[in-house]
Amino acid sequence: SDESSSIYEPQRVVIIGAGPVGALAALYFAKGGWQVTVYELRGDLRNPENRSLNFTKSINLAISERGVNGIRTVDPELTETILEAAIPMNGRMIHDIAGKQSSQRYDVHGRFIRSIDRSYLNGALLDQLEQMSNVELKFNHNLKRLALEKSEATFEKRLGSGEVETVRVNADLFIGADGAHSQTRYHMMKYVRLNFSQEYIDSLWCEFHLPPHPTTGEFQLDPNHLHIWPRQTFMFIALPNMDKSFTCTLFMPEDMFKDIVGPEALLKFFLTEFPDVVPLIGEENLIGDYLKNQKLPLISVKCTPYHYRNKCVIIGDAAHAMVPFYGQGMNCGFEDVRVLWDHINSTDSLTEGLNSYTLERQKDLHVINDLAMNNYVEMRSSVTSRTYLMKKNFQEFLYSWFPWMGVRTLYSMVSFSNIRYSEVTKRIKRQEKVLGTVAQFVGISVLGALGWWVWEAGWWKEVLEEGLLVWKEWMEEAVRVLW
C-alpha cells in the first residue's frame, strides 16, 4: 500500500513553501508514511481574498509530460481530476504583423501540452493534503532561521492583528520549496559550500486578460494552441483558460516598457506591433491591464549541491528558477520530487539518498536552465525563420516515416518524454551529427547522379564545343586588335 512504501520509520519532515512543488512533495512524503508539516509564507490561496494579494505568478501555465508524470506516479486519480480542468494545446499559432495566423504543431504523433490554472492546480494538491491525517498545513508562516545543527527552523507567524509570533519547530528533514528567492537556500549556504549564480534577463513580463467573445461567450482565438506574436526582440503570448478567456503575457526589454508612457503610447504600440490583439482585448481593458498589472522581472538561478547531509534539501524554483520560455519550470520541479523520492527510497541511508540525488540532478537542472534561456530566442524570432522551419519539418518527417532512426525534435523530447534533460541534449548532439552525415551523403549522391546523367546525356559536349569556339573567336579578335 502507499502507506508502507517508505523503508524508513515514519519521520518528521518540514516543507517550506506550499507552492505547487512543495505541495506535491508533501503528497509524496505523506503517502510514504512520513509526518508532514507544510509552512507557507502567505495565506491559503484557496481563499479568493488571498489569491488577489499574492499576485506575482502567471495565472495559467503549460503542464507537460514531466509535470503530469510527477503527479501520476504518486496519485493517478488526482491526475485525472486535475487534467479534466486543463486545455490541450496541440501546437503554436504564430501571428504575423498583418494578422495572418499559421499553426506549427508540437508533435507529429499528436502529443500536446496543456494549459492549466495555477491556483486550481495548487489548490487541488492542497485539498488532497488536507484529507490526510499525517499532514498539517500552516499558512502565514515566514521562515526566518534554519539552525541545521539543531535540526530547528524558526518561523514568524503573522497573526490576524498584524502582530507576529515566533514559532520554533524540529524535524528530521527540511525541504525548501520556497521559490526563486528561497530562504532555505540562503540558510543552507551557511552549512555547505554551495555554488550559486543568478541572472536577471533584461526582459520583464506583464499580463493581460483576453475575455470571451462579448456576444457569443466563445473563445476569441483557437483554444487548442499556444498563441505567439513573435517580434524578434519581444513577444506577446496567449494561453487559454477554462472560462473561454485567454491569459496573455507581454515579454519585452525593460527599456521598451519605459518608453511606453500613458494610454496613447500604449495603444500606438499595440496598433503597430499587435494590431489584431487590440479589438480582441478592447482598448479600455488593454490600457487598464497595462497600467494596473506589475511589470515583473525574470530570474534564472543555478546552484549545487541541493542538500546538506541528511538534514535539508531544496527543490523546485528554490534550486533552479529558470526563465519561462520552455514552459518547464514547474514541470521540472515536479520531476525533482519524483526523482528525489526515488533516491531516498533506493537506499537505507538518507544522507546517501540526498547525495546521489544532487549528483544525478545537477547535470539535468543546469541543462534545462540553459535550454530555457535559449528558447527565448526561438520563441520570439526563430519560429518565423525558414531555416528553422525546414529543419523542424525534416526532423518531423524522419520521426514520422522512419521512426526506427530515432530522430526526434528537442522540443518533443523535453516536453513529451521523461528522458533526463542531460540525456536529451546528448541525443540531440548525436542526432545532429548523424543527420549532418546523412545530409552530406544525400548531397554528394544527388550531385554524383546529376553529373552522371549530364555525362551520359552527351549534350554537354556540344555546349562545351560551342563555348570553346566562341572563346577562340574572342581570343583571335583580341590578338588582332592588340597587334
**What whole-number distance in Å separates Cα of residue 101 and Cα of residue 395?**
23
CB 163 to ligand FAD: min, Å: 18
Cβ atoms of 62 and 89 closer than 8 Å? yes
Q: Is 324 in the site for ligand FAD (CB under 6 A)?
A: yes
Q: Is 61 in the site for ligand FAD (CB under 6 A)?
A: yes
Residues 220-249 that bind ligand FAD (CB under 6 A): 249
From residue 83 to residue 122, what is the string marking binding to ligand FAD with x (rule CB under 6 A)?
Answer: ----------------------------------------
Closest CA to 211 of 286, 271, 113: 286
Q: Is 21 in the site for ligand FAD (CB under 6 A)?
A: yes
Long-range CB pairs of 338-342, under 8 A, 24+ apart, other chains included: 338/28, 338/69, 338/70, 338/73, 338/74, 340/25, 340/28, 340/313, 340/315, 341/28, 341/29, 341/32, 341/74
Q: Is 42 in the site for ligand FAD (CB under 6 A)?
A: yes
From residue 392 to residue 431, what is the string marking binding to ligand FAD with x (rule CB under 6 A)?
Answer: ----------------------------------------
Q: Is 16 in the site for ligand FAD (CB under 6 A)?
A: yes
**What whole-number distance in Å separates Cα of residue 283 and Cα of residue 285?**
6
Q: Among residues 15, 143, 171, 248, which is the contact residue for ligand FAD, using CB under 6 A?
A: 143
At residue 353, what are phi and psi to the nearest 5 degrees?
-60, -45
Asked if the bond preceding 305 is cis, omega within 30° of 0, the reply is: yes
Decide whether 223 or 333 has the Cβ nearer to ligand FAD: 333
CB 298 to ligand FAD: min, Å: 6
Residue 109: count of CB within 10 angstroms of its CB: 12
Gyration radius (Cα) of the chain, Å: 28
CB 92 to ligand FAD: min, Å: 13
**What whole-number distance in Å separates Cα of residue 401 and Cα of residue 423?**
24
Residues 347-366 that bind ligand FAD (CB under 6 A): none
Q: Among residues 13, 14, 15, 19, which is the contact residue for ligand FAD, using CB under 6 A?
A: 19
Q: Among residues 179, 223, 230, 353, which is the contact residue for ligand FAD, using CB under 6 A?
A: 179
- Residue ranges binding ligand FAD (CB under 6 A): 16-22, 39-42, 57-58, 61-62, 141-143, 177-179, 183, 205, 249, 316-317, 324, 327-331, 333
